[in-house]
Amino acid sequence: MEKNQDILRYEEAAAILPVRLRKAALALPAEERKTAEELRLRAGRPMTVLLPEGEKELEVVVEPEELETLCDLATEFSRYAAAETLREGFLPVRGGFRVGLCGTAVMKDGANTNLKNLSSAAIRIGRQHLGAAEGLLPRLLREGRFQNTLLLSPPGGGKTTLLRDLVRCLSEGGWRVSLIDERGEAAVMVGGEPQMDVGPRTDVLDGCPKALAIPMVLRAMNPQLIAADEITLREDLRAMSLAAGCGVGLLATIHAADVGELLEKPLYRQLLEDRVFRLAVCIRRVEGERRYEVEELP
């Protein structure tokens, strides 16, 4: 019998763990492995698994040296090659996973250069839901033209998953897409290769702040559409407005439960007043399933 793909992804994430912790993670019941979102390690505390209903403790206490072993496994014993993302507090892992890290920052000239004395880690179980956007995409087109769209939900609502699949669908449909993956979560680049399927005509610029990345791809890649995850800064908004003025399509995510909450945030008010974006997709979880509601923006 073929194993459930969500369970397989969980087991692949657990393979990053040191042996003792891996055994504890794999002892989780199948139904919980299917829905698990993260594995969380805190030195001196029980390892936990993040489920939709919250964190569940496993019967194993994390030793500080196991956090160091986790880093070695995640980087394939080449931390030096991962130094750029390590100082940002995360490691992209082959297969489409991401390990977030906390510890003691090593500061130099006001900037963090490394992390030492690791204290916590979170393994994000990246799951790709191919086809999630296929029924939605036609609703974002007007006379065959993509309408600039915001994806809205609270944290953990599935914005990045939906963004990734919309990018894949657009790319497979013939669009040239530039994906700005500042946090490395949408494409999960390892050695220049995306670990997630973002489509055949997608160019990924990862690890670069959106305010810098958007002008870069406008000059260099001739995109028809720019996609970006988590617009949070005023500089990001200015770069988006610049791209819109160049006739490029836009797709972005923002933390907001709905359009009403978006309107209450002063940071985004100017963006809406300038009508840079025309549609919003509100992601709602109903009876354990995600539903997508499309709204015209004012």
Mean pLDDT value of segment 81-93: 84
pLDDT at 112 over 60: yes
Query: What span, in angstroms and rounded, lies between the C-alpha atoms of 168 and 279?
Result: 19
pLDDT band at 114 (very low <50, low <70, confident <90, very high): confident
**What's the confidence (pLDDT) of residue 3?**
66
For residues 157 and 263, state if they share a domain.
Answer: yes
The answer to whether 161 and 127 are in contact (CB under 8 A) is yes
User: Does the residue 130 lie in any domain?
Assistant: no
The per-residue pLDDT for range 5-58, each reduced to its tens digit, is 889 889 999 999 999 999 999 999 999 999 999 999 999 999 999 998 899 999
List the structure tokens of 192: 């220049």
Is the CA virtual torsion 165, 166, 167, 168 positive or negative?
positive
Mean pLDDT value of segment 70-75: 93
For residues 78 and 182, state if they share a domain.
Answer: no
For residues 164 and 249, state if they share a domain.
Answer: yes
Mean pLDDT value of segment 220-241: 93
The answer to whether 251 and 167 are in contact (CB under 8 A) is yes
The per-residue pLDDT for range 141-184, each reduced to its tens digit, is 998 899 999 999 988 788 999 999 999 999 999 999 999 998 88
Element (H, E) at 180: strand 177-181
Full-prediction pTM beyond 0.85?
no
**What's the confidence (pLDDT) of residue 288?**
67
For residues 142 and 106, state if they share a domain.
Answer: no
Q: Which of 77, 101, 124 is the last residue of a domain?
A: 124
For residues 82 and 163, state if they share a domain.
Answer: no
Is the CA virtual torsion 25, 28, 30, 36 positive or negative?
negative
For residues 104 and 165, state if they share a domain.
Answer: no
Phi and psi at residue 238, in whole multiples of 5°?
A: -65, -40
Nearest to 237 by CA among 266, 207, 260: 266
pLDDT band at 200 (very low <50, low <70, confident <90, very high): very high
Nearest to 164 by CA among 241, 210, 225, 228: 228
The answer to whether 250 and 244 are in contact (CB under 8 A) is yes
